[in-house]
Amino acid sequence: MFTSLRTEEAERDGGYGATAKRMGELVQEIPGFLGEDSAQTPGGLSVTVAYFRDLAGIEQWRDHAAHREAKERGRAHWYERYSLHIAKVEHSSGFERSNAAD
Amino acid sequence: MFTSLRTEEAERDGGYGATAKRMGELVQEIPGFLGEDSAQTPGGLSVTVAYFRDLAGIEQWRDHAAHREAKERGRAHWYERYSLHIAKVEHSSGFERSNAAD
């Protein structure tokens, strides 16, 4: 779970959006990456939940060279603050309108 | 972690916003509730991460009468789909610009 508040610089800086898009592509190559949900409130607050099969995938993504470089640029320019939580899913449920079984 | 896509009805319906606001107040009364991060992309995608000290708090919130009623109205009117994951935080880190220690 990655929650972040972006700087005004990130809002203006074309580099942020291009890097975020590239990271969204690269993470899909990590073995065990299952997908992600992300929402952005205008003004800079983002909440992203990325799902991995196991910790090995998370560690591979954490150590990925291009991702490390992006994180450094993020801390230098694009993020006012962020928090990251690694968590183990214990229970899941869901709902779809077309198939209203919960 | 609660990810949802709202219906067009929810966008128009004043009841959704009022109920969401009320739930945001009620959850704060749950023992062990630690806070939440939420972002909404215009168009209806929301990602909310609510933090609880333990499973007992999550169960109390799941079973809260007003919350149960809101969930029923949500499934009937406001949600196209949602997914809910209960997860145990194993590692946390963060960053703040004013205090650039990670």
**Residue pointed to by tokens 């090995």:** A56
pLDDT, mean of residues A58-73: 97
How far is the first Cα of chain A from the last one, in angstroms, to the nearest whole number?
24
CB contact under 8 A, A97 and B79: yes
Q: pLDDT at position B62, please?
A: 96
Pairwise CB contact (< 8 Å): A49 & B47: yes
Within a domain: A32: yes
* pLDDT tens profile A16-27: 989 999 999 999
- DSSP letters of B12-81? H-HHHHHHHHHHHHHGGGSTTEEEEEEEEETTTEEEEEEEESSHHHHHHHHH-HHHHHHHHHIIIIIEEE
Could you tell me whether strands A45-52 and A2-6 are parallel, antiparallel, or unpaired per DSSP bridges?
antiparallel
Question: pTM for this one?
Answer: 0.87
**Tokens representing A49?**
């939940």
pLDDT for B44 equals 78
Q: Which domain holds residue B59?
A: 2-84
Please name every residue paired with B47 in a beta bridge, in sequence order, or none if there are none: B3, B39
- Please indicate if any CB of chain B lies within 8 Å of the CB of A45: yes
**Sequence-distant contacts of B24-31: CB under 8 A, at least 24 apart:** B26/B64, B26/B66, B26/B67, B27/B61, B27/B67, B30/B57, B30/B60, B30/B61, B30/B64, B31/B56, B31/B57, B31/B60
pLDDT 10s digits, B18-69: 999 999 999 999 999 999 999 988 877 899 999 999 999 999 999 999 999 9
Residue B28 lies in a domain: yes
Is A26 a member of any domain?
A: yes
Smallest Cβ–Cβ distance between A87 and the set B41, B81, B90 belongs to B90
Q: Please indicate, yes or no, if residue B59 is contained in any of the structural domains.
A: yes
State which residue of chain A sits closest to B2, comparing Cα positions.
A94
Whether B11 is covered by a domain: the verdict is yes
Could you tell me the two tokens for B94? 């963060």
Q: Which residues of A touch B91 (CB under 8 A)?
A: 85-86
Mean pLDDT calculated for residue range A64-77: 96
> A7-27 burial string, b = 16+ CB within 10 Å, else e?
beebeebeebeebbeebeebb
CATH code, B23: 3.30.70.100
Report yes or no for ipTM above 0.90.
no
Q: Is A90 inside a domain boundary? A: no
Residue A73 within any structural domain of the chain: yes
Query: Could you tell me if residue A101 is inside a domain?
Result: no
Question: How many structural domains comprise chain B?
Answer: 1
Question: Cα A74 from chain centroid?
Answer: 13
Question: What is the CA angle B42-B45-A74, rounded to 5?
Answer: 80
